[in-house]
Structure 1
Amino acid sequence: MRGSRSLALAGLFVAALAAPIGLSAPAGAAPPVLAERDPVASGADFNGDGFADVVTGYPEETVDGNAAAGAVRVIFGGGAGSVLITQNAVGIPGAAEAGDRFGHAVAAWNSPYDEYPALVISAPLEGAGSATESGEIWVIPGSATGLEFGSTYTYRQGKGGVPGTLEAGDRFGWSLSAGRELAIGSPGEDVGDVADAGSVTVIGNERIVSFHQDSANIAGTNETGDRYGWSVSIDGYLLAVGTPHEGVGSVPGAGAVQLVTIRPDGTPNNAWPAPATLNSIDQGRPGVTGTPETGDHFGWSVSLVPSGDDGRHSLAVGVPDEAIGDHARAGGLHAFHIDDLVGGYGEYLAVDQGSAGVPGTVDTGDRFASTVVQVLTDGGPAIVTHTGTETGDGEGRDMPALHVFHPALGTSAIWLEAGGSGIPDGMLLAPDHIGGTRDRLLVSTTPVGVPYRVIGVPWSDILAGGTDPIVEYLF
């Protein structure tokens, strides 16, 4: 196996490709074509050697003949090699089974109680006994010598201090996001007799708390098929929870995003996480472009990063099934400035492939912004979108489509593709891994003969036509 060719990077950014599966849609809503991967982005250096490490999940990987058992690839920075992690690896509890989708989501957890970051891996379709697809996550601690596989521990509902009961279809770990705390979405959770209401678990400050839309201090009401926690993104005390199947008024599946503080103002140090809703955002709220429509799925993907200003964040929201004109499921992107203390929001971007300055054309079924990932750069947050089902439809572009938005570009975007931004011709950019650092965008490619590669493309090349070299991480 080959290690990284790159120099040290500032952090680890990780993402996982979800299987083409979906939870059943509520009545009156068009079912999603794909359950897109749930991207997360965090910074880490697992062994503290000053070189960033790259992690990518491949939940559809066949392991010892078990289709879609799933695997995770870690490429250590500084040329320190790489490793393939499956449930059949020494030190990893469990066994690879068909359909587990180990690696559906991954995160780097920088808990203040640990000297080194830990790698978190989910398998939301993992079952236990008769509780099929109940879901589980694995935590592999970091250390001076690398990942400590022999010290791996797991969480699932009813185990490891996680509230709840192991039930079929909960899909614990469908979404993950980590910083100091770890946020876990379980969109298939039944609450009482309300099927697929969904829940979120937050682990941090030596406490574990699970909550849903009927919990104290949490807005909303549990309804069948809401799937609260379909997407999550956490930074500091602020958590964004996507509920893309939420009805808005009488409109099913329009979708919404909740802004939740896990430490309300004045909460004692020994009393948090204490989740409380600050605000909710949907297309029926003042200042939000658009109108709630059946099956828009606002909040299918969410990404939260500091905006660079104290007390504020940038929130990107994907709406992949938004209809544009007479083009169903064409997709759109929204971005908001968020006030951390009270959850106030101001929309600063609302675009689709028909917007001025955004390359491409509006086409039925494209699902633009099916994945949104934000990266904090020196010039502000960059938003990278993946268009879920973009095909060769006469636009003359390499597929899949990756767009980059950045404050330096205004409301325009750059279509990232081979042959531009210093990326050699012949590379097909892939959505398996999308993330980055202040210096570079990290994105996977699938060239012939090198099936697992991530490249680091300098932001100066993407945004300003620079000629700094790309770096490569090879497995």
Structure 2
Amino acid sequence: MLTQHTRSIRRALLATALIAAPLALSTLPAQAVTGTAATGTTYGYTARLDIGHGTRACSGVLVNAEWLLTAASCFVDDPAAGLDVPAGAPKLATTATIGRTDLTTTDGVVRNVVQLVPRTDRDLVLARLSRPVTTVTPAVLATTSPVTGEELRVAGYGRTKDEWAPLALHTGAFSVDASDATTTTVTGKNGVSICAGDTGGPEVRVTGTQAQLVGINSRSWQGGCFGIDTAETRTGGIATRVDDLGSWVAAQIAATRVDDFNGDGTEDIAVGDPKASVNGQSEAGLVKVVYGGGKGSETLHQDLDYVPDTAEAGDGFGQALASVDYDEDGYTDLVVGIPSEDIGAVANAGMVTILYGSPDGLGKGKAALNLVQGTGTGDILAAVSEANDQMGAALAAGKTAAGEPYLLIGMPGQNLKGYVDAGQVFYLRGTTNVKIHQDSSGVVGVIEAGDRFGASVAGDANNITIGSPGETVDTAANAGMVTILKHTLNAAGIPTAVASIDQDSDGISDAAEPEDLFGASVSTVAYRPSGATAATDSIIAVGSPGETLWVGTTSYAGAGQVLTLRVTAAGTVTQLATVHQGVDGVNGASAGGDGFGTSVAVANTAPNASGTATTMLLAVGVPGKDIDTATDAGVVQTFSLLGAPGDSDHWIQAGNERGLPGTPGASQLVGTYLYATPTHLWIGMPNGPSERGAVHGLPWSNAMGGTGATVTTYQPGLNGLPLTGKAFGMAIG
């Protein structure tokens, strides 16, 4: 236990905490106070943090490819007043330089810090990085407490004896004085001190060639540090213990990510109503955003100052939505498709707007990015808006396995080489801005009228999938096809084609038939096979809602079905299952016009673990299903993506035990609009029973057969949402 004298020292030190020197780099040779400068990759897991563009500096420690440990005191205005750091995006923009022990070099990497997860019992936060670090080996947490008298090695990028902000990582030896439940006191050997800017740096136990992270620099007397009164000679300091936090760190790293537009650490959701009137303009469209944690809501439309363009009749703002932290600042950004937007006199050319997240919500920070053909960069700049292109009719966004954000923009109405509605897709990632169509390098297929390539798009960390439901296969019109590509660019600078799949492809069940509409809906999720160390594979669900099914000698046109495909890291594509209401064990009976597979949504509820039958999930919309006398009432069915469909089938209709509110009604078309996150299955019901529509979030435990978990409902006129709109729930993101 610390003595009363030590506790008094600790309180006093709070007032002079070493949270950092402003970043004014010295040109003098870097030296520790009396220690040594780190060389090569030694202590390469130590990070240098720039907080607030030079406002302050700290150090940190890489403990996972995407996570640092550092001091909470680095992120508060006044450490003496408390160490309460809000969870979520840091208040001040923060970058971390990792693996660059000599700052004059280009070694290592630079990453944004996008999320803070604080401890409430000690001076410590976990900080998530914008992208994984794959070139630096993380530090290993110790599992035993520091012992009085043992030696620890301390590292940091703080001041030295004669430098304000040195250009190299420096280290020194310290002796452990005492420990309590959360801290350790240390004293520098041979006059070595922990200086301003070293806060958050590692204190490690070195045994042979093995180094274990015991603590994080917190406070120090700073004797001998640059700028400190020469009368101060004490070299003692306090470290925050981490040796007892292995399970906490692991749990936070494995936690499910959520969309967070305002960076407060709670889940937010956006819902489109493209048929809503705005300032008298019929079907101009709007999007309502609900901020988690009781932070309220806002309504987005094109008559707001911070949303580009102007609300006009028939624009359909919000017909498609996607979300990703596109600018990697810690705030989720919202991508809005406006496929019926007129560009000048060009009707229904379409455009896409990215509204950036900020502490005050969407659109309140940096200016929106408007994507219109003929503007910007790359292939979008080189393109020309044409009537009925429908740019933004389908959207998908996410991050690659390397953590780089990407965006897919479907344009199913694009005319190519004189072929009407051939369709194409724009793919954006970093400086890449390219178009993909059926004449693209490596893509199987031929540009034809009515293919509608890009009518559906989906992506995960490994692969992207593009549906062309109008594809003619042999002589079967509108049989449909999907194209699978990986994010790696080929020699032509576009994503590398993996396979093009239709129902006549080898290994694919059934056969391509007219009006199958294979690829009318697609959804994909990364999959980590058992025994693998990463989610290297993809599982893709492909809906063919026009599929004709036979029961005995009776055919049911438009009954619909779904195929699930697995794509391995090597690019091998195999069919996992055929799913429809005639499969053994699957609820319901096929009927004409059911439209099974009109929408599909897949999810991995444990994205950081090996995929299992209970974590890899599929939801299928069946909007044409009649329930008793309610024609086209619609249902949703859920399955596991792994194993036989009949082993895990669950039926969701309005009013049953799964928790979807309401009662089945004619033309409600439940299942037309689905959106899946790792925590919830969201079902849009713009066609009633609520007059203006509603969305309902079912926890996956409910959706997969359980009962009792709270269902979240958002509806115009309830819980603070304004009573406006017409078809709330036609898009969810």
Counterpart residue number, 1:334: 563
Once the two structures are overlaid, the 10-residue window that deviates more, 460-469 or 382-391, is: 460-469
3-state secondary structure, aligned to 2:314: coil
Task: From the superposition, tell whether residues 152 and 427 of structure 1 become closer, same or farther in structure 2 (CA, over 3 Å).
Answer: farther
CA distance in 1, matches of 2:539, 2:503: 18
Counterpart code for 1:305: V
Q: How does 1:247-266 map to 2 (within 5 A)?
A: 247-264=472-489
CA distance in 2, matches of 1:464, 1:211: 40
CA distance in 1, matches of 2:621, 2:689: 22
Corresponding position: 1:438 with 2:678: yes
Find the partner of 1:175 among 364, 382, 394.
394
Counterpart code for 2:677: T
Q: Deviations over 1:321-360 (max 9, x none)?
A: 0111221111111111111442x22212212222222222
CA distance in 2, matches of 1:432, 1:212: 27
Q: Deviations over 1:171-200 (max 9, x none)?
A: 111110001200001111112222221111
Corresponding position: 1:455 with 2:658: no
Counterpart residue number, 1:285: 505
Q: Deviations over 1:287-309 (max 9, x none)?
A: 21111101111000000111233
Counterpart residue number, 2:349: 134
Find the partner of 1:363 among 583, 591, 596.
591
Taking only the aligned residue pairs, the percentage that are identical comes to 31
Task: From the superposition, tell whether residues 462 and 237 of structure 1 become closer, same or farther in structure 2 (CA, over 3 Å).
Answer: closer
CA distance in 1, matches of 2:359, 2:672: 28
CA distance in 1, matches of 2:426, 2:676: 26
Contact 1:318–1:369 (Cα < 8 Å) also in 2 = yes
Q: How does 1:368-407 map to 2 (within 5 A)?
A: 368-378=596-606, 379-392=614-627, 399-407=633-641
Counterpart code for 2:304: A
Cα deviation for residue 212 of structure 1 reads 1.3
Corresponding position: 1:306 with 2:541: no
Task: From the superposition, tell whether residues 49 and 459 of structure 1 become closer, same or farther in structure 2 (CA, over 3 Å).
Answer: same
Counterpart code for 2:703: I
Task: From the superposition, tell whether residues 131 and 246 of structure 1 become closer, same or farther in structure 2 (CA, over 3 Å).
Answer: same
CA distance in 2, matches of 1:376, 1:338: 16
CA distance in 2, matches of 1:261, 1:308: 16
CA distance in 1, matches of 2:265, 2:305: 27
Counterpart residue number, 2:610: none
Cα deviation for residue 427 of structure 1 reads 5.6
Counterpart residue number, 2:458: 233
Counterpart residue number, 1:86: 301
Contact 2:598–2:672 (Cα < 8 Å) also in 1 = no
Find the partner of 1:244 among 453, 466, 469.
469
Contact 1:106–1:121 (Cα < 8 Å) also in 2 = yes
Corresponding position: 1:297 with 2:522: no
Runs of 4+ in 1 over 4 A off after TM superposition: 427-433, 445-453
CA distance in 2, matches of 1:191, 1:178: 25
CA distance in 1, matches of 2:662, 2:706: 20
Structure with higher Rg: it is 2
Contact 2:621–2:672 (Cα < 8 Å) also in 1 = no
3-state secondary structure, aligned to 1:354: coil
3-state secondary structure, aligned to 2:488: coil
3-state secondary structure, aligned to 2:556: coil
Task: From the superposition, tell whether residues 108 and 126 of structure 1 become closer, same or farther in structure 2 (CA, over 3 Å).
Answer: same
Cα deviation for residue 386 of structure 1 reads 1.3
Task: From the superposition, tell whether residues 193 and 418 of structure 1 become closer, same or farther in structure 2 (CA, over 3 Å).
Answer: closer
CA distance in 2, matches of 1:388, 1:262: 33
Corresponding position: 1:195 with 2:426: no
CA distance in 1, matches of 2:697, 2:422: 39
Counterpart residue number, 1:185: 410
Counterpart residue number, 2:83: none
CA distance in 1, matches of 2:430, 2:548: 42
Task: From the superposition, tell whether residues 117 and 211 of structure 1 become closer, same or farther in structure 2 (CA, over 3 Å).
Answer: same
CA distance in 2, matches of 1:425, 1:106: 24
Counterpart residue number, 1:223: 448
Find the partner of 1:73 among 271, 288, 298.
288
CA distance in 1, matches of 2:633, 2:690: 19
Contact 1:262–1:273 (Cα < 8 Å) also in 2 = no
CA distance in 2, matches of 1:330, 1:448: 24
Q: How does 1:395-434 map to 2 (within 5 A)?
A: 399-407=633-641, 410-412=644-646, 413-423=649-659, 426=662, 430-431=670-671, 434=674
Contact 2:526–2:538 (Cα < 8 Å) also in 1 = yes
Counterpart residue number, 2:337: 122
Cα deviation for residue 169 of structure 1 reads 1.3
Counterpart residue number, 1:152: 368
Cα deviation for residue 80 of structure 1 reads 0.7
Find the partner of 1:322 among 527, 547, 550.
547
CA distance in 2, matches of 1:401, 1:159: 42
CA distance in 1, matches of 2:514, 2:474: 11
Counterpart residue number, 1:274: 494
Contact 1:56–1:433 (Cα < 8 Å) also in 2 = no
3-state secondary structure, aligned to 2:444: coil
Two-structure CA RMSD over aligned residues (Å): 2.7
CA distance in 2, matches of 1:306, 1:273: 23
CA distance in 2, matches of 1:257, 1:398: 27
3-state secondary structure, aligned to 1:130: coil
CA distance in 1, matches of 2:539, 2:514: 26
CA distance in 1, matches of 2:276, 2:643: 38
How many residues are aligned here? 429
Task: From the superposition, tell whether residues 54 and 95 of structure 1 become closer, same or farther in structure 2 (CA, over 3 Å).
Answer: same
Task: From the superposition, tell whether residues 425 and 77 of structure 1 become closer, same or farther in structure 2 (CA, over 3 Å).
Answer: closer
Q: Deviations over 1:413-459 (max 9, x none)?
A: 21112444451763668447532333332334577678554433232
Counterpart code for 1:376: N
Task: From the superposition, tell whether residues 444 and 255 of structure 1 become closer, same or farther in structure 2 (CA, over 3 Å).
Answer: closer
Cα deviation for residue 248 of structure 1 reads 1.1
3-state secondary structure, aligned to 1:263: strand
CA distance in 2, matches of 1:449, 1:290: 39
Normalised TM-score (structure 2): 0.55
Cα deviation for residue 467 of structure 1 reads 3.1
Find the partner of 1:106 among 311, 321, 336.
321
Contact 2:289–2:299 (Cα < 8 Å) also in 1 = yes
CA distance in 2, matches of 1:78, 1:472: 15
Task: From the superposition, tell whether residues 427 and 90 of structure 1 become closer, same or farther in structure 2 (CA, over 3 Å).
Answer: farther
Task: From the superposition, tell whether residues 340 and 73 of structure 1 become closer, same or farther in structure 2 (CA, over 3 Å).
Answer: farther
Contact 1:372–1:384 (Cα < 8 Å) also in 2 = yes
Counterpart code for 2:272: G
3-state secondary structure, aligned to 1:137: strand
Counterpart code for 2:441: A
Normalised TM-score (structure 1): 0.83
CA distance in 1, matches of 2:525, 2:463: 10
Task: From the superposition, tell whether residues 89 and 433 of structure 1 become closer, same or farther in structure 2 (CA, over 3 Å).
Answer: farther
3-state secondary structure, aligned to 2:409: strand
Counterpart code for 2:444: A
Contact 1:254–1:298 (Cα < 8 Å) also in 2 = yes
Cα deviation for residue 113 of structure 1 reads 4.1
Counterpart residue number, 1:45: 260
CA distance in 2, matches of 1:380, 1:308: 11
Counterpart code for 2:368: T
